[in-house]
Amino acid sequence: MSGGDGVAALAGVRVAEFGTGRAAAYCGKLFADFGAHVVKVEPPGGDRARARGPFPDDRPDADASGLFLHLNTNKKSVVLDLQSDAGRRLLGGLVSGARLLIDDGTLVTAGVDVAALMAANPALVVVQVSGYGDGGPYGDYRANDFAIYASSAWMCAMGDPDRPPLYPGRDYPFYVCGLYAAFGALVALRHARLTGQGQRVTVSALDASISFDFYETTKFSYRGKLRRRDSHMITGVAASTQPCQDGYVALTFAGEDDWQRFCDVIGAPELAQGAFETATQRLANTDELNRLVQQALSDKTQADVVRECQARHVAVSPVATTADILRSEQLAARDWFAEGGGLPLAGPPFHLQHPEWRIDAPARIAESREVVSWRKLAAAAE
């Protein structure tokens, strides 16, 4: 799974990807971007992600979905009807030459015997991703990100106590699920290379969501309790998101020195004195303090607040919009963005020992209605 100079980290790894969700696609993308030969198998009509935007000029285009372009860089796309005899034959040929199979339940739903595929290819590693996992009380439930957030510890603690819980943000559990699946696949592939024996790796978005909200999970494990929605009433303004003149900043202060320096930055040193001198006093007067902090920030730009706080080693960060990220000086200095389909695409999420990460092109719809042979695929990548 590694090579010398100029060789991508996962060159030579053959991957067959079956799935229409984010988890399977992101797992496959990580392999493809680090050099693996990934064939994405789409149903007739294409992956449903092609119908989700954003689209250029808001005009739907199966080959121009921002979501699809992001998730499917460097992959080859084929269309198989798994309900047909021809599709099943082509499936067998594809999987027999693969080292890794990624599935989000598409094969099981189509009635494909995954165990038989593994028996025919003993070194095959099978990664299965799902919403709620295989079995268990919710094993047969359909899952989206909203349902996963509600099932884990996230939403119960987010928002004001007298209002409904807040939605944390789109798709995170499925991206983390795909990331964990890729890690598990790498371990299983190494084992298969050493022993010739494949394995099955299973990861659920629910488990992923619970694991990356480790604060709530750990608290429940030790105390049997979950934090309720208390807005700022637990940490006060010291851990909050505050509006400024042209955006928002996120505050995370660990001690009195941080708070004092922040008050100096915003020109309100009095907010670290009197009724607000200690953390306990600030917590008892959160509503009034919150109002005064917002008043002090109202004539300051986000960039000025962040720059001055960072210069004083105060933990303040910008709450970035998509436009902010695209013009980020830090990402530009790192030459992080790549380009595909005429759009800027996300760069590498991490580096491996051999960091030949690349983005050539996204998978296009219906590139072939026959499986591209692994030999031809390898030759095209050279």
Assess whether pLDDT exceeds 90 at residue 14: yes
Per-domain boundaries in the chain: 14-214+337-381, 236-326
pLDDT average, residue stretch 130-138: 85
Residue 378 pLDDT level (bands cut at 50, 70, 90): very low
pLDDT average, residue stretch 43-65: 85
Spatial contact of 29 and 40, defined as CB atoms under 8 Å apart: no
* The domain over range 14-214+337-381 is classified in CATH as 3.20.20.70: no
pLDDT at 201: 96
Residue 84: Cβ-neighbour burial (10 angstroms; 0-12, 13-18, 19+): exposed
pLDDT at 379: 44
Assess whether pLDDT exceeds 60 at residue 121: yes
Residue 38 pLDDT level (bands cut at 50, 70, 90): very high
Assess whether pLDDT exceeds 50 at residue 1: no
Question: Which contiguous run of DSSP H or E holds residue 143?
Answer: none
269 to 73, 275, 286: CA distances (angstroms): 51, 12, 17
Q: Which residues of 103-120 are buried (b: 16+ CB within 10 A; e: fewer)?
A: bbbbbeebebebeebbee
Q: What is the DSSP string of 183-200?
A: HHHHHHHHHHHHHS---E
Assess whether pLDDT exceeds 80 at residue 250: yes
Which one has a higher pLDDT value, 178 or 138?
178
The closest of 289, 291, 290, 297 to 249, measured between CA atoms, is 297
What is the distance between the alpha carbons of residues 101 and 126, in angstroms, rounded to a whole number? 5
Structure tokens, 92: 């067998």
Structure tokens, 362: 């996204």
Q: Which residues of 171-190 are buried (b: 16+ CB within 10 A; e: fewer)?
A: bbbbbbbbbbbbebbbebbe
- Least confident piece of the model among 46-55, 316-325, 352-361: 352-361
Assess whether pLDDT exceeds 80 at residue 194: yes
Assess whether pLDDT exceeds 80 at residue 8: no
- Least confident piece of the model among 125-134, 176-185, 237-246: 237-246
Q: H helices of 40-132, where?
A: 66-71, 85-96, 106-109, 114-120
Spatial contact of 154 and 213, defined as CB atoms under 8 Å apart: yes
Spatial contact of 58 and 70, defined as CB atoms under 8 Å apart: no
Show Cβ contacts of residue 349 under 8 Å, excluding neighbours closer than 6 positions.
Answer: 30, 179
Assess whether pLDDT exceeds 90 at residue 256: no
Alpha carbon 296 to chain centroid distance? 35
Spatial contact of 309 and 317, defined as CB atoms under 8 Å apart: no
Assess whether pLDDT exceeds 70 at residue 186: yes
Residue 133: Cβ-neighbour burial (10 angstroms; 0-12, 13-18, 19+): middle
Assess whether pLDDT exceeds 50 at residue 241: yes
Query: What counts of helices (H) and strands (E) characterise the chain?
Result: 16, 11
Q: Tell me the torsion sign for CA atoms 349, 355, 359, 364.
A: negative
pLDDT average, residue stretch 47-64: 85
pLDDT at 103: 96
What whole-number percentage of the chain has pLDDT above 90? Answer: 38
pLDDT at 232: 55
On average, the pLDDT of the chain sits at 85
Which one has a higher pLDDT value, 249 or 136?
249
pLDDT average, residue stretch 296-314: 93
What is the distance between the alpha carbons of residues 272 and 287, in angstroms, rounded to a whole number? 15
pLDDT at 360: 74
* pLDDT per position as a tens digit, 328-369: 888 999 888 887 666 788 888 877 666 678 887 666 654 544
pLDDT at 340: 65
Q: Strand order in 200-204's β-sheet?
A: 76-79, 37-42, 14-18, 100-103, 125-130, 200-204
Long-range contacts of 307-315 (CB under 8 A, 24+ apart): 308/265, 309/261, 309/262, 309/265, 312/261, 312/264, 312/265, 313/261, 314/253, 314/258, 314/261, 314/262, 314/265, 315/251, 315/252, 315/253, 315/254, 315/258
What whole-number percentage of the chain has pLDDT above 70? Answer: 88
The closest of 199, 184, 181 to 22, measured between CA atoms, is 181
Task: Look up the CATH architecture of domain 236-326.
Answer: 2-Layer Sandwich (3.30)
Assess whether pLDDT exceeds 50 at residue 296: yes
Name the packing angle between helices 22-33 and 172-195 (round to 10°).
50
Question: Which contiguous run of DSSP H or E holds residue 29?
Answer: helix 22-33
